[in-house]
Structure 1
Amino acid sequence: MRLTSTPCTRLANSPLSLLTIMSYPRLTTEQMLRKDQKTISTHGTKVAISAIYMDLEAFLQRSGLTADLHAFCQAHNCDVLVTMTIFFNTQNEPVRQLAIFCPHAALRMTICGVLERSHSPSLKLTPAPSTHPHLQAYLQGNTQVSRKKLLPLLQEALSAYFDSMKIPSGQPETEGVSREQADKELDRAGNSLVPGLSQDEEEPPLPPTPMNSLVDECPLDQGLPKLSAEVIFEKCSQISLSQSTAASLSKK
């Protein structure tokens, strides 16, 4: 499947143009979502967060996207799929966008509500048009909020959702199931995974690095430094911001 010319045109003069074009050569939607993905889980509810380096508008125009998103969630046992799109506009300014896909209306509304009301950090979300059912799109005004900073907010949203599912005080218990039993079931489901992270987040240990006979220990014992596309984007964003500041000061 080929990408439309829209994202390539917008990225033509940006620091991430080569990265974006090389990252998605004829990739399927499922491959794009898995290329840079993290997951969190609470009480058995799993949220996948995928970073995609292109315009959200172009991504939402992909043929058969709704079916692809449903298939992705089913294949990877995800209840929610959060897509963070990142690119530079023609002025070399970073642009971030969000898309929340979740067939469960109550869960989707809870997550969107937490993200919209968040003040620490504030995402400064502006709803964007979308014709896809079960999907809420946003323009993220605060481009400094990366996926790393978004993860705690999503964890908070999951906690808020499960808190809202608990039976309020004074109301009758569900027939055949007490509140204590329901809480135990939720705790049992949550304890099956590492708190806050799904099992596929665990990385296998690196093999030991050969010792250097001239030093007490090898500097690579901790493994090679990790370099992801997200890190590259953050560095490019900082460089672009510093260049813009320097240019504005020189004009004064």
Structure 2
Amino acid sequence: MEDYLQGCRAALQESRPLHVVLGNEACDLDSMVSALTLAFYLTKTTEAEEVFIPVLNIKRSELPLRGDNVFFLQRVHIPETLLIFRDEIDLDALHQAGLLTLILVDHHVLPKSDAALEEAVAEVIDHRPIDQKHCPPCHVSVELVGSCATLVTERILQGAPEILDRETAALLHGTIILDCVNMDLKIGKATLKDKKYVEKLESLFPDLPDRDEIFDCLQKAKFDVSGLTTEQMLRKDQKVVYRQGIKVAVSAVYMDLVAFLQRPDLLTDLGTFCQAHSCDALVTMTIFFNTHNEPVRQLAVFCPHVALRMMICGALEHSHSPVLKLTPLPTTHSDLQAYLQGNTQVSRKKLLPLLQEALSAYSDSGTIPAGQPETVGVSTEQGDKGSDRAGNSLTPGLSQDEDDPPLPPTPMNSLVDECPLDQGLPKLSAEAVFEKCSQISLSQSPTAAWSKK
């Protein structure tokens, strides 16, 4: 693999047609490994002198945010310096010169920012339901398995099993195990095909790491935030909710909220993050496991605009679908409200529609200054992703996963028991919560609040 990747970098210096195998924008482990191994297979099995290059669909500077990717590359001895990232190859220029053929792996719809590249797509391999409206008119191979790496493994073993070495097998094997949550039947992500090809890899290479060992190592590396700045932590797994000029970042952070709130210069860092990403508010859901291996979720709402902050907090506190069972946590930080979330089954994915409803009620009330566009202040990094084809007001940022990381079923443990079911709060709709907050002065726009800080 190392010699192959060195050849790929050398090919970039030449003016010749390139077949680029492109993973998705999240560049999670499945996307990265599927791109690397499929490009390697195509290179080994193509008779013509065609060049197949795997491209990681992120900037090189973003790789440290993906701890499992970094860990696995080190484990299989692939130097990061040999990888090719999206900011190191000009796909648009190659396409305009007639030198680009694209193969999409682990996704099948290009974002709006890459719409011009659609006509260069020659093949797709993916493991999610097809978006018929935007799927490219080429050969599309889609099967709803737990990991796209399973489909790449099948392609290799059916097409040229002799090219599979232990290094490539280890990449595929570990990725499928992580994606399928160690083949846990209770989680239900692993299909019969995932199970089949994990077992085939293990039979071909009996010295592959034990499943429990590699899963535990990758899982820990995936959620390891040690060494990351606050800004990197927030970007590591981020989504965005926006509505008529109001933009809220929603980040998952894999550590105890109490420890997170004790980070030096936290309030300054939160303000800087929101300014840099043109966000009016930031909602952080922290996730960690206690000593009984039970998941603990906590929430923090940061927003310098009082009315908007109270609106968001009110919507969370009074939500009845789902009930969050929030207990306020003490904090000395201004502009920030923290909570212990008693109902640990409410993931960030379930929280996003609740925030979207709250912003709709807030914006429909007429508190947004006249003349502001629908997505005011969207940063360059998020702009194209935010203004998606359907005009949705819920968009992914740099999230590694479409779904939240799988958590084991949680019993009614002592943590939950400490949180009264409804906290004595009435069940109110987002509109009713807004009415409760309406006595707050709304003369100042959320974005304008930053200039006062």
The answer (yes or no) to whether the contact 2:245–2:374 under 8 Å persists in 1 is yes
Q: Which has the larger radius of gyration?
A: 2
Per-residue displacement from partner, 1:191-213 (whole Å, max 9, x unpaired)?
A: 99322135x6599xxxxxxxxxx
Alpha-carbon shift at residue 88 of structure 1 (Å): 1.0
User: Would you say how many aligned residue pairs link Structure 1 and Structure 2?
Assistant: 185
Taking the aligned partners of 1:58 and 1:79, their CA distance within structure 2 comes to: 24
Taking the aligned partners of 1:16 and 1:139, their CA distance within structure 2 comes to: 28
User: 1:189 and 2:363 equivalent?
Assistant: no
Task: Provide the aligned C-alpha RMSD in A.
Answer: 3.1
Structure 2, unmatched stretches of 5+, are: 1-215, 377-385, 412-453
Per-residue displacement from partner, 1:71-97 (whole Å, max 9, x unpaired)?
A: 000001111101000011112221100
The answer (yes or no) to whether the contact 2:239–2:398 under 8 Å persists in 1 is no
Q: Which residue of 2 aligns with 1:106?
A: 307
Per-residue displacement from partner, 1:121-170 (whole Å, max 9, x unpaired)?
A: 10011111011110000000100100110001100111121233359xxx
Q: Which residue of 2 aligns with 1:138?
A: 339
5 Å-filtered alignment, 1:82-161, equals: 82-161=283-362
Distance 1:202-1:25 versus aligned 2 partners, 3 A rule? closer
Q: Which residue of 2 aligns with 1:68?
A: 269
- The 4+ residue runs of structure 1 with deviation greater than 4 A are 15-18, 200-203, 226-229
Taking the aligned partners of 1:227 and 1:159, their CA distance within structure 2 comes to: 25
5 Å-filtered alignment, 1:40-79, equals: 40-79=241-280
Distance 1:164-1:27 versus aligned 2 partners, 3 A rule? same
The answer (yes or no) to whether the contact 1:88–1:95 under 8 Å persists in 2 is yes
The answer (yes or no) to whether the contact 2:225–2:233 under 8 Å persists in 1 is yes
Identity %: 61
Q: Of the two structures, which has the highest relative contact order with CA contacts closer than 8 Å and spacing of 6 or more?
A: 1
Question: TM-score of the superposition, structure 2-length normalised?
Answer: 0.37
* 3-state secondary structure, aligned to 1:156: helix
The answer (yes or no) to whether the contact 2:223–2:254 under 8 Å persists in 1 is no
Taking the aligned partners of 1:68 and 1:154, their CA distance within structure 2 comes to: 23
* 3-state secondary structure, aligned to 2:404: helix
Structure 1, unmatched stretches of 5+, are: 1-14, 168-176, 204-225, 242-252
* 3-state secondary structure, aligned to 2:405: helix
Alpha-carbon shift at residue 24 of structure 1 (Å): 1.4
Taking the aligned partners of 2:360 and 2:223, their CA distance within structure 1 comes to: 38
